[in-house]
Amino acid sequence: MSTAKRQQTMAKRNRERAVEEKRTLKRLRKQAARSERAAGELRELDPYAAPPASVEPEPEGEPEAEDEPQAGAGPDAE
């Protein structure tokens, strides 16, 4: 058994880099296809629907701001 480490060759490094680049490109192509399909499905569902709002839904069970008394709207605000 040899205890000395062997130096990695440039050819091996190039092969490994080529494999990694190929995997990255494949991953990017798959993500692009996935997002393209998702965008197509959204358009097909209801073409006349309003675009989704970026506002979070209001939590249930909490009182609205309309229930609280407003400043200057009390009985002695006349």
**Domains of the chain, residue spans:** 12-45
Q: Which residue has tokens 């490094």? A: 13
Rounded CA separation 23/29 (Å):
10
In whole angstroms, give the CA distance from residue 1 to residue 7.
16
The 10s digit of each residue's pLDDT in 5-64 is: 888 899 999 999 999 999 999 999 999 999 988 887 766 655 566 666 665 666 666 555
Judged by DSSP in three states, 7 sits in: coil
Compute the distance between CA of residue 58 and CA of residue 68 in angstroms, rounded to an integer.
17
Q: Which strand (E) or helix (H) includes residue 39?
A: helix 10-45
Residue 37 has, within 13 A of its CA and on its CB side, a CA count of: 6
pTM over 0.95: no
